[in-house]
Structure 1
């Protein structure tokens, strides 16, 4: 009996080996992406993005917002430099500075007769500094040497200090805020060369994970803390960045 079982086992094992030998092996598809050189090894890249916006309201009424009076602006500059250590792949450093300012003399929120909020002398100012290391890879669009897609992986550390306050005199209420944040993300985009050594780049906001630590002090007495972690992998079409990059 044992001999028969052993023979059957050997025959089954031999059949499995025979079927496996006849089955076609899975082979890796060579898409020849790395063979198409868009930017060669040994080049340097340098560039940056700049954005500025401002607003000025006087006796503005919009839906539930009433009698809005204020002004403000937002300014951001972000230079970067990188080196191509292999074809179509670069590593580098990016820095950024962002200043946000808001000064509103009056602000009213009207949600009906039983719920009205009125604020006077609303003030907000924030300075933010960032430094990031990045790894960027390029893929040409077809056989084009003008248009190429890229994806940038970033590790960013940010530090900011801000102040917000309302009222004046005896009704003054002010808070100082310090924020540290760590961000791991991806920023896909498109590069279009306009000369042999310069290109216009369009990219969307960073997608990935963000960790933020906030410390506050209100009226130089009360202290508050906040810790936030979030993940975002949605493409935000309202956070499009446009900049120039030079290749040397």
Structure 2
């Protein structure tokens, strides 16, 4: 009964710190796997693929419900044996509902500069690369108390891999944010 009372106390105080001059610290993770079936001629156009990424971030609320900041990212992709890259870039996030709401809806846009490379099974370097990308994220933030939110989102990422190749990806994301008062 004591645990129930404590949970009720903290959840009844739930409101979010999405107002001007507060900080946003957290991150998200994404996972994607694809399976490719053989074509009617018996060939397989692409290998099966797994992508995993984590993206920590820090932001500042310049206006009520509007934050901007910096996001880092690390991505592992097995498309070329051991393909890894790191990214950094700005983001802007907007919350649509009032700050008193326990569940809020957000939209985020970001730009990233990526650098990485891959190694073959025998350890040879397949080369380094640099590319640019942008993304959008829409989802819900579920506030567990006045400062901590768990997020569920649908993420769209577009990367320009070279002058002729662009990759577009949709992923489901799970995130965690801490909203700090000034």
CA RMSD of aligned residues (A): 3.5
1:205 is paired with a residue whose SS is strand
Aligned match of 2:64: 87
Aligned match of 2:178: 246
Q: Is the 8 A contact 2:17 2:179 kept in 1?
A: no
Distance 1:73 1:200, change over 3 A: same
Q: Which of residues 114, 117, 130 is equivalent to 1:180?
A: 130
1:159 is paired with a residue whose SS is strand
| d(CA) in 1 for partners of 2:70, 2:24 | 11
| d(CA) in 1 for partners of 2:85, 2:51 | 11
| d(CA) in 2 for partners of 1:75, 1:88 | 29
Q: Which of residues 116, 139, 145 is equivalent to 1:189?
A: 139
Aligned match of 2:85: 128
| d(CA) in 2 for partners of 1:42, 1:191 | 19
| d(CA) in 2 for partners of 1:81, 1:205 | 18
Moved more, 154-163 or 176-185: 176-185
| d(CA) in 2 for partners of 1:154, 1:126 | 22
Q: How many aligned residue pairs are there? A: 154
Aligned match of 1:212: 161
Distance 1:46 1:38, change over 3 A: closer
TM-score normalized by the length of structure 2 = 0.69
Determine which structure has more spread, i.e. the larger CA radius of gyration. Answer: 1
Q: Is the 8 A contact 2:58 2:71 kept in 1?
A: yes
| d(CA) in 2 for partners of 1:47, 1:82 | 9
Unaligned runs of 5+ in 2: 1-15, 43-48
Instruction: Give deviations 1:110-159, integer Å, cap 9, x for gaps.
Output: xxxxxxxxxxxxx8112210112001111117x96111111111111111
The equivalences for 1:81-230 within 5 A come to 81-100=58-77, 124-140=81-97, 145-165=101-121, 176-207=126-157, 209-213=158-162, 227-229=164-166
| d(CA) in 1 for partners of 2:32, 2:161 | 25
